[in-house]
Amino acid sequence: MAERSLLTAASRWRLHRIVALYTLGVLGFLALMFWAEQQGLSRHWIGPIFLFFTVMVYAAIGVYLRTSDPEEYYVAGRRIPPFYNGMAAAADWVSAASFISLSGALYLQGFAGVPGQAGGLAYLLGWTGGFCLVAMLIAPHLRAMKLYTIPDFFQQRYGGRWPRVIAALAAVTCSFTYVVAQIYGVGLIASRLTGVQFEIGIMLGLGGVLLCSFLGGMRAITWTQVAQYVVILLAFLIPVSWLAYRQMGNPVAPLAYTAQLGQIAEMEQRLLDSPAEQEVVAAYRLRAEVLEDKLKDVPRVLAAERQQLSERIRDLRTRSGDIGAIMAASRELAAMPRDEATARALWTRQLQEMREREKPLGGIPLHSLPFAGNPDGSAEERQVYEDSRRNFLALMFCLMAGTAGLPHLLTRYYTAPSVSGARASVGWTLFFIGVLYMSAPALAVLVKFEVMNNLVGIRFDELPTWMAQWARVDASLLAVEDVNGDGVLQFGEIRMGADLIMLATPELGGMPYVVSGLVAAGGLAAALSTADGLLLTISNALVRDLYFRARRRRASPEQRVILSKFALLVVALSAAFVASRRSSDILPMVTASFSLAASAFVPAMVLGIFWRGTTRRGAVAGMLAGLGITVYYMVSHVPALQPVLPEALHARLWWGIQPISSGVFGVPAGLLVTWLVSCLDPRRRAAARSVPGRVA
């Protein structure tokens, strides 16, 4: 299909005016809400207003730009200016993981990370490096081929059925894992904004996703993402600038926050020497010892505890008649494990948690260490140090390679008007992402200073109300307990999830509640923007690349678009169901999708672009090998699957690398197998093709 005409200068200026007016409108809305809060508007109204306003704006864009034109639906007519394409790609990229969890990972893991988890700095370096790979190796070449989807590349480059089918299935797998994390973030934010249950919050946010992606495809998604980026930018920069100015008198957080690193190091040392903190450590150690004793004889302990609770309930009924106490004891009895296997699994998890909490500072490493462990310490500390370094490098590699292989991201550059426009789009994407990423480490440091300086030492009966509100949303996000019984909150008694840090920053920093609403709206925009692109990628892979190609069905382009829309609806509802199970945090799910994308796409794609000798058999074998090794390494380490997997499939950690970084094995395997099979392929000379879309 011939490319549409490029935008005229007048059209560009019209776009600039519209985006500028929209930005001023958002700022005006914030000013209005701030004024309303000062006039007495209840907090119970502020959250729903933010949710309703933002979702309705995105929905209005989706409705206004609805289309059934295939060129517009799949690639936005290939007319998106590089500046706005970069902004849309940045919004697509700044997912719930980046917005909600990245600063939280830096808060909990520091630069060093913890045993079994690389530090949050690996995410910043890996994702940024990945965009450099996209700019240099991938985007210009794919744009020159004038394709619609990533499986289109494998069809055009290698021919045949199986390269496209495998690419489509891989796109569905990694994108579905990614979108579940985004919808989980949607539910988390919507439930906090409105006070409804988590599952209902998922459905509320999902409506905004569907109105954008269902009706307008890539055209509507692009301009919705531009609008969402404005909200994301304001939501991230306002709180971090507020904290930086409050603590250091300088609102430019990336330049000022390093001064707080020295103070945090001093606070950490004081906490390590604090007798109250040592009492907390001792209390957790005692709990761990009790759990170890329980695990020595699970059937006897379980029966004894049940009998003790039953006798307590009978005693309460016959003596005191206290209905409240009876109900509490009954609930405790009902919550007890029903059998030995369940009890063993529960107590084992609790033991692991207690062992982690008994470490100094609640298991949180010193913030400024380069890696966990000590290269000059004991043999165990040296091993932890080496494992930490390997996991840091492995994670960074997976994130870099995964960025270069994510289908929904690469498809974004199909919308550029030209090859040079694709390159410029990547440059603008790096700029818009960098504005946020430079502030993420600063936010983690500033929040940790607030917690250590202003929250630790407060009496439990004086804790701010926002802590109880977040604890009700999800106990894994925030939990506090007076472990040592002194009535005063210690650092080791606070358990904060990574997904909480950014969302709770305004309340922690004493900002107006309007800022909390803005941050929640920014997190919602980040999750929705990424979910839009992912759902479109999945539906296109299922309908365009699998259903019609596999069955060679005849249908008009408009019919294919309609079927893609309904497939998108089914996928969205399926992802919402999986997200409602709360099976994992956002960041691990996102990281796993990067390993899958890197292993499945990058070897065959890069070799297919730059080596003419790559054959169809080589590409198929390499994709299957890379994806197979990655999936095996992930699945074999899932605790819930260990009892049902054969003993032969149980795996130990290879060189101490964690499962989320399994792409570090899948990518080399894919490259090696693709190269080897291509070299040995007897049809190599006859099947060799010129590489389509080569650009200078």
- Tens digit of pLDDT for each residue in 533-575? 777 788 777 877 777 665 555 666 666 667 777 777 787 778 7
Helix or strand (DSSP H, E) at 113: strand 113-114
- Rounded Cα distance between 106 and 102, Å, is 6
Specify the number of domains making up the chain.
Answer: 1
- Please compute, for residue 448, the number of CA atoms within 13 A of its CA located in the half-sphere on the CB side: 33
Q: Containing H/E element for 479?
A: strand 478-480
User: What are the pLDDT digits (tens) for 37-65?
Assistant: 888 888 788 878 887 888 788 878 877 88
Q: Among residues 49, 50, 519, which one has the least CA distance to residue 241?
A: 519
DSSP assignments along 252-312, one per residue: -HHHHTHHHHHHHHHHHHHHHH-HHHHHHHHHHHHHHHHHHHHHHSHHHHHHHHHHHHHHH
Q: Is residue 390 part of a domain?
A: yes
Residue 637 lies in a domain: no
In a domain, 623, yes or no: no
Q: Report d(CA 294, CA 306) in Å as an integer.
A: 14
Does residue 234 fall inside a structural domain?
Answer: yes
pLDDT, tens digit, for every residue of 341-356?
Answer: 888 888 888 888 888 8
The whole-number pLDDT of residue 3 equals 44
Only one residue has tokens 């004894």, namely: 304
Give the per-residue pLDDT at 674: 93
Distance of CA 295 to the CA centre of its chain: 35
Looking at residue 320, its pLDDT comes to: 66
Whether the CB-CB separation of 164 and 187 falls below 8 Å is answered with no
The per-residue pLDDT for range 615-661, each reduced to its tens digit, is 889 999 999 999 999 988 888 876 666 666 666 666 678 888 888 88
Secondary-structure breakdown of the chain: helix, strand, coil percentages, each rounded to the nearest 5: 75, 0, 20
Q: Which amino acid makes up residue 669?
A: A
Q: Is residue 689 part of a domain?
A: no
CA distance 512 to 145: 51
Note whether residue 651 is domain-resident.
Answer: no
Q: Is residue 326 part of a domain?
A: yes
Cα-to-chain-centroid distance, residue 21: 31
Locate 684 and state its tokens.
């190599």
* Alpha-carbon gap, residue 211 to 337, rounded angstroms: 43
* Per-residue pLDDT, 621: 93
**What sections of 139-197 are H helices per DSSP?**
139-144, 150-158, 162-194
| DSSP assignments along 634-679, one per residue | HHTT-GGGTTTS-GGG--PPSTT--GGGTHHHHHHHHHHHHHHHHH
CA distance 458 to 604: 57
What pLDDT score was predicted for residue 78? 80
Class of residue 24 by CB neighbours under 10 A (exposed 0-12, middle 13-18, buried 19+): exposed
How many whole angstroms separate alpha carbon 557 and alpha carbon 643?
48
All residue ranges of the chain with pLDDT < 50 are 1-5, 686-691, 696
Q: Given this model, what pLDDT does residue 690 score?
A: 46
Close Cβ partners of 28 (under 8 Å, ≥ 6 residues apart):
none
pLDDT for the residue numbered 119 = 64
Residue 181: CATH number of its domain: 1.20.1730
Residues 6 or more apart whose CB falls under 8 angstroms from that of 136 comprise: none
* Residues paired with residue 459 on neighbouring β-strands, in sequence order: 488
In a domain, 178, yes or no: yes
**Domain span holding position 419:** 41-451+460-472+495-579
